[in-house]
Structure 1
């Protein structure tokens, strides 16, 4: 399943590149490679192809992605409110995941899970809005 996410997001990034959309290219391809590296970090040690990542590695990985996402969030300030919400909530999600992993605090991990659901639902709304607004040639669902 994660390979599918990788392929789909990188392909979407290539489509954005063809349209000349730098933000979409960077966002989609970067998060596509996020999935590829996450699968590698989690799965490869189980196959014996590599040693497990060191203690704190996942925390560093997640926090780094949180910082990268925060930079993209700044870029959304010139775009729609929907994208601002998605990237703001995704930044928070990476930070919560990193903190949950660093502390082992189950409450933070559960909060991160709910935050992930909110972030994902907002991305689905934005995707639906973009599709429907384009098809109908008018604003069916607002993006802000």
Structure 2
């Protein structure tokens, strides 16, 4: 006789959220250290934007799709491609492949990302406080950067840099909380 007791089956796929959150967070902190005036745009930021902020988040998003997580898929792949597109906007004009975007074009680009992020923020209201903080601060960051490009006021950009450091640090916290809570099998760092 075959037993009829249900058996729980685990999907066997690791949680990709820590990878995506840390990739987003670390790259965001580094770019916003530049925005706050600590150092110039350099290859370190561009390389992080391509490989960690860009490709690692796209990979995390693809794994989220495998886990049937539409929010994770949408967020991680979108922000991964945001980083790749941002690096493209910086590098392509230097290579002579396109003209440098105008301040108005950058304002529109950043405002669109702000609107997109605002919609995702509403999705976090069904998730945890840590993600709510990440997305809320990211909405503010995108609109501050759009305002800087729209007005030409560099002081807004510098303020955005400090706010962006907070945003990135909150994403790193959320990513590491996921890792440590899973490793220890209990709440080491609360997510709220």
Give the TM-score of the pair, scaled to structure 1: 0.96
Alpha-carbon spacing, 1:53–1:106, altered in 2? closer, same or farther (3 Å): closer
Q: What does 1:85-100 correspond to in 2, within 5 Å?
A: 85-100=133-148
Q: 2:50 is matched with which residue?
A: 3
CA distance in 1, matches of 2:69, 2:120: 13
Poorly superposed stretches of 4+, deviation over 4 Å: none
Aligned residues: 144
Task: Tell me, yes or no, if the aligned pair for 2:103 and 2:149 is still in contact at 8 Å.
Answer: no
CA distance in 2, matches of 1:55, 1:74: 29
The structure with the larger Rg is 2
CA distance in 2, matches of 1:29, 1:54: 26
CA distance in 1, matches of 2:137, 2:109: 18
Q: 1:12 is matched with which residue?
A: 60
* Residue-by-residue CA offset, 1:22-50 (whole Å, 9 max, x unaligned): 11110000001101111111210111111
* Structure 2, gaps ≥5 residues long: 1-46
Tell me the SS of whatever aligns to 2:190: coil
Greater helix proportion: 1
Q: Which has the higher contact order (CA 8 A, sep 6+)?
A: 2
Q: What does 1:1-144 correspond to in 2, within 5 Å?
A: 1=47, 2-4=49-51, 5-144=53-192
* Structure 1, gaps ≥5 residues long: none
